[in-house]
Every structure is written in structure tokens, then in C-alpha cells.
Structure 1
Amino acid sequence: MSKHIETHFAVTQLHARYASAVDANDWDAWVDCFIDDCVYRIQPRENFERGFPLATLSFESKGMLKDRAYGIKETLFHDPYYQRHIVGAPLIHSVTDECIKCEANYVVIRTKLSELSTVYNAGRYIDEIVHTEAGLKLKSRQCIYDSEMIPNSIIYPI
């Protein structure tokens, strides 16, 4: 039982580090949540459930995540806003020596400087997590969002 509690706690901490990084616009810390050979996808629920590969954003390496982080910091121009992630407790599906498979519900609240806060995105994370010398890291994160509609564009990671 204690090993399961330790695993659950470690996964929860990884989710908290991830949310803290994106909420603080700390893009280097966001990238550091992943291993080098990783996958990060943002995909509508309908496409995911039908097995369609079309995703809103899809990155297939840490290098691609670094490029996105650079773009956010240096080249993308948009109306500034804050994000606040609320992540539910992880549901751990399996634990092996190689990988932890789990999922967690999320809601992202967006606050533009002169507007009320609104629900920006809601869905679930489907994760594959691996042990590294630096602790748990994401091998794969699929952000499966519930709505078919997204406001404007997705600038920041979900």
C-alpha cells in the first residue's frame, strides 16, 4: 500500500509542478517536465475517441517543446492573459518498472487584464510518466479537451 501512496504522491507533485510552470509562464520549467523523447498533444475529445490523428497542437520531442517555448517568449504577439490550472487527483491505471499510465481531469481559467475570468479549456490529461534520475517526467501528455470550440487560438500549453 505505501508504494502506491508514494507513486500517487509523486504523480500529484509532477502535475503540480507542471501547472505551476505554465501558470507562472515559466516555459523552461514546463519543458523540464518532459523527457527528451516525448510527445505532447492537444486534441479535441471527438477526434481522440474516434481514433482520428488530427490534433490542435502536436509536438514529438523536447526540442519541439523548446521551440514552442521560444516562440511564446520571443515571437508570438497576442493579447496578454493569465492562466490558472485546476488539476484533479490522478487516476493511476498501471505502474510498471518502465512507465506509469494515468489520467487527471483539468480546467484552465483564463484571465485577460480588463475582463472577467472565464473557463478557457476543460478536459483530461492522459499521461505516460517515467522515472529519471531527476524524478518523474512526462514521456507523453495528451490534453484531450471536451469542447469542439476553442476561443481564438491556443498560445500557451494546456
Structure 2
Amino acid sequence: MLPGFEKKALAPAAALAARMAVEDFHAEYCAALDGGDLERWPDFFTEDCLYRVTEFENAAHGLPVGLVYAEGRNMLHDRAVAIARTQMFAPRQILHFVSNVRILDVGADEIVAQSNYLLLQTLVEGATTLHQAGRLFDRFVRQGDSLLLKERQAIYDTAMIANDLVYPV
């Protein structure tokens, strides 16, 4: 468990409404990424967001080292543009699966959640492979009727990952 992501006692109705909102968010987020709309990815985050992808052991020991670390929507935008327009790699299809949403806390303007994720990759001339698996630790803020990510920490389960991980989790 990451500090700041402990489960609190919640009213069942509030937890259910928050879970539905988070699951709706994940559905749209995954649809954008899986549909190749990478330049829309930063729009799912607040201006002052934190996005980190790191290995389980580093997270367990409180080490800030990560495969990807971005502070702010502008850094996410730079990464999205680099992937969409300038990176050279074999064509592929990516599928994100997010499941087992747990609502850890609900506040007036914030939802804290934990989920499991899988990232599958299919190269044009290859079989589908498991690219990454892990847990998402998310801090959402409400903006009107929708949610934005203020913080996303993707903690993957293995130190052995593909060296071509470029897609957002």
C-alpha cells in the first residue's frame, strides 16, 4: 500500500456512486488510449497532476525511482506528442484492462481509488502478449460532472518488463 492510499470507512451509497464514476472514467480513458488517441491522454489529468509508473519493489521501499515520472499536464503532453508523432517503433495494438476498483476514500471534491490493470500488446506480425500488469493508485478530483486524475501511480508487478514500453498506463 502506498502512503496516502489507505482504505477509510465509507458510507455504502457514497462508495457505490464513487465506484461507478471511477469505472466510467476508466472506460473513457482506456477507449481513448486503445483507440490511438494519444494526444487526448493529458486531457484526463489536472494541470498540476502527478503521473508515475514504477516497479513494485521500489514502491514498497518508498523509492521515488520510476520508469516514467511526470509532474503536470505539460509533461504528459510532451510524452503524448513524442509517442504519437516522433517515436519510431513497430505498429501495434494496445488494450488496457482496469478491474477490481476499490474506493479507498471519498471527499467533497476528491475520490481515492485502487484498481488492478493489465496492458496487452499485439504487434502487427505477432501474438498478443502481456505487456504489463499491476495496480493503479489514483486520486481523482471532480470537475463538473466528470473526474480528472490529480495523481496516478501505476505500480507494476515485475522488474522484468519489455524494453519498448512507451504507451501510457
What TM-score, normalized to structure 1?
0.95
AA of the residue aligned to 1:10: A
Corresponding residue of 2:95: 84
Unaligned runs of 5+ in 2: 1-11
Structure 2 matches for 1:68-83, cutoff 5 A?
68-83=79-94
What TM-score, normalized to structure 2?
0.89
Corresponding residue of 1:112: 123
AA of the residue aligned to 1:58: Y
Corresponding residue of 1:137: 148
Displacement of 1:98: 3.2
Q: Does 1:64 align with 2:99?
A: no
Q: Does 1:13 align with 2:50?
A: no
Whole-Å separation in 1 of the counterparts to 2:102 and 2:18: 11
Whole-Å separation in 2 of the counterparts to 1:50 and 1:39: 19
Displacement of 1:32: 1.2
Q: Does 1:46 align with 2:65?
A: no
Unaligned runs of 5+ in 1: none
Whole-Å separation in 2 of the counterparts to 1:70 and 1:29: 10
- Percent sequence identity over matched residues? 35
Displacement of 1:16: 1.1
Provide Cα deviations, 1:48-105, integer angstroms capped at 9, x if missing partner: 0010110001010000111111101111111121111111131011011132111100
Whole-Å separation in 2 of the counterparts to 1:134 and 1:34: 15
What is the aligned counterpart of 1:154 among 133, 143, 165?
165
Preserved CA contact (<8 Å) 1:22 1:30: yes
Corresponding residue of 2:41: 30
What is the aligned counterpart of 1:126 among 128, 131, 137?
137
Whole-Å separation in 2 of the counterparts to 1:3 and 1:95: 7
Whole-Å separation in 2 of the counterparts to 1:3 and 1:128: 16
Preserved CA contact (<8 Å) 1:34 1:138: yes
Name segments (4+ residues, structure 1) moved above 6 Å: none
Name the Cα RMSD after superposition.
1.2
Preserved CA contact (<8 Å) 1:43 1:144: yes
Preserved CA contact (<8 Å) 2:116 2:134: yes
Displacement of 1:134: 5.5
